Structure 1
Amino acid sequence: MTTLRQMLTAHILYSPSFQALIVYLVVVRVGLAFIEQMALLVGPRVLLNIGLGKYHKPRYEQRLFLYLDMVASTTHAESLGDYRFSRLIQDSFSLLADTVTNNEAEIYRYMGDAVLIHWPLKDGIKEDRCFNIYHEFSQQLSWQRQYFEEQYGFVPKFKAAAHCGQVVAAVVGVQKQEISFFSDVLNTLARLQDQCNPLGQRMLISGSLQSRLEYSDSQYNLNSLGPIKLKGKQHSIEVFGVTPKTVK
């Protein structure tokens, strides 16, 4: 009986069909692992859109962008050195993952100590999403206070700005492709974020975004700071500071 079982097992293991099945499963698993890694590198939605050819021809879209930037990053980089500063950036942005997913956003680009996040406009203005990411991220950093103080001697802080408008989205590149956005919206966003320190604010939004927001159940206060002339811009824009409502 044992000999018969062994013969059957050997017959199955060494049969061409079984070996072909093993090779097929290995190829499928390697393929899925490759797709998973590509999705992590460029984002699952970006990978899908590139695969479908959605942006091979430039197209107009309405987008909302959120720009997060570390406060006093130059000072931190000088005090920590390049290696420890890069670890600080890794540790900080690793806390962004869940809140970005929970608020149905996408990472557009990491830029050293800054990150650019975006939504289709109609999705970004829902349920305070464009505010939630910044304040939840700040909360996560605060909750990890002990770790950051032990590793780096301080808890990193970030400032933020949000702006929206029409952009042109298109796939660029050949060997390495990505979906890029072209618009003055991004330039205005960067200039707006530069005003956080002069205006003494942690988060700013433009009047264009403020006019599109839904206020009925908002958990945040918007404080008008008046028209502000941004660097390199001919005309002033309305600017608002964002703070969470205090729970009574």
Structure 2
Amino acid sequence: MTPSSLHADSIPAPLPSRDATTEPPPARSSGAGEGRRETPRFGLVSLSDRKKLISILLATIIFALVGGLTTQPAIFGITNAVMIGLGVGLFEEFYVQSLRGRWLRGMHPLRSILIYTLVVTAIYLVAMHLSHLILGHIEGLTLVYSRLPFTLPLVIVFSVIGIVVMRVVHFIGPETLFHLMVGTYHRPVLEKKMLLFIDMNGSTALAERLGAFATRSLVGKFLFDISGPITNFGGDIYLYKGDGLIAVWDWKMAVKGNKLLHAIDALGDAMRREGPEYQRQFGLVPSFRIGVHGGDVVVSEQGDTKRAIGVYGDTINIAARMEEAAKAYGVGCVLSGQVAAALSAPADRLVALGNERIKGISAPMPICEYRSEGEGRGAGDRAGQDVAIPWMRFRA
């Protein structure tokens, strides 16, 4: 099932006041500690740190071959391999994949490969000198210099190959590549996930105003800017679709530490941070809407000549419906009741909107507006009343 199969049912008005005797669960604090975004952690190592370690290890292995295969004798080759691998690995993770490296990631692939190759070559030359210094064989550098006309072309060729491999891995996604290689989803697997749909508001009108090429540049920058906040808080980009994307979290990962809500807050932060640049390039700052739902999905490999990992089930359709509800209510983010009940949102940032009728689902589904940090008041304020659903009651 895909979002295109959804039917736009009418969305009811916000629920009227319920009896004040309805007993909600313990109030969720809206204190500073609750709203503060922290790096998601699993055990002793945070999720983001684990991803960094994997990326560094991958780059270290790939580029250690550059030093090991182009340096003799063996002891110098091993020393060179370690220093080059670690040097490039740290450069890749803490510069190229950081905010500072956005300019390199955003430029034409051939130009970025050229610059990256020059950096790897420089690291190779520095490592070569350090290895001879550490091993106390400075006089051996004379022989190394005489071999440079032969070794440097090899270094450049191996560097280009290594850089292309790294780019392919990042293009596919390290986790997706791993699952495809080991066959995790060769047979369908039932898993509990949370899915987030995000779309840019008013993209059709923007296309008419800006023109096709400028709109494409705007959408490209928008997708570039919203990807990092999602992956930084444990989400995976499942699919880019038009002017938006679908992100997926494992249920436990999304709930623990409110990582999904922190990701939504970080999305707003990213757009505010990049606002001046949007104004400079396009004369406007795009806004977006979000819909979130979670539940059981079937995860399985799909395709033949080009394989991918697909997610199937009503959960993905309902998540798309939540995004449509955000548009209909004129709010930034809508959570299904099931998701809102599982997360620990501050009480002053979660507002019950009413019940949503979903095609194929017999009972109406409660939905809520989530107000990210720095967001203005939304649809709940227009009602100006207490709204309630069985599991919570907040002042709109």
TM-score, reference length from structure 2:
0.53
> Is 1:99 aligned to residue 205 of structure 2?
no
Q: CA RMSD in A?
A: 2.8
Letter in 2 for 1:73: S
Distance in 2 between residues matched to 1:79 and 1:127, nearest whole Å = 41
Work out which of the residue numbers 352, 373, 385 in structure 2 matches 1:224. Answer: 352
Kindly provide the CA deviation profile for residues 197-236 of structure 1, in whole angstroms up to 9, marking residues without a partner as x.
3223110000111222245xx5872211121213565431
- Look up the SS of the partner of 1:230 in the other structure: coil
Matched residues in 1 for 2:369 and 2:194: separation?
Answer: 17
Give unmatched runs, 5+ long, in structure 2: 1-138, 375-396
Match status 1:63 vs 2:193: yes
The answer to which structure has the higher strand fraction is 1
Distance 1:52 1:199, change over 3 A: same
Residue 200 to residue 132, structure 1, CA distance change in 2 (3 Å): same
Q: Does 1:122 align with 2:252?
A: yes
State the AA in 1 paired with 2:341.
S
The residue aligned with 1:144 is 274
Q: Distance in 1 between matches of 2:208 and 2:367?
A: 32
User: Do structure 1's residue 237 and structure 2's residue 368 form an aligned pair?
Assistant: no
- How far apart are the structure 1 equivalents of 2:218 and 2:156? 37
Alpha-carbon distance change, 124 to 82 in structure 1, aligned in 2, over 3 angstroms: same
- Deviation track 1:117-139 (CA, whole Å, cap 9, x = no partner) reads 11111001122222222232222
Aligned residues: 232
Higher helix share: 2
| Aligned-partner Cα distance in 2 for 1:204–1:73 | 20
- Aligned match of 2:264 in 119, 134, 141? 134
Map 1:47-86 to 2 at 5 A: 47-86=177-216
In the alignment, the residues of structure 2 paired with residue 189 and residue 182 of structure 1 have an alpha-carbon distance, to the nearest angstrom, of: 12
Higher RCO (Cα < 8 Å, 6 or more apart): 2
Identity %: 24
What residue is the counterpart of 1:113 in the other structure? 243
Larger radius of gyration: 2
2:230 aligned partner, one-letter code: V
In the superposition, the TM-score normalised over structure 1's length comes to 0.82
1:194 to 324, 327, 338: 324
CA distance in 2, matches of 1:220, 1:99: 23
Displacement of 1:52? 1.3
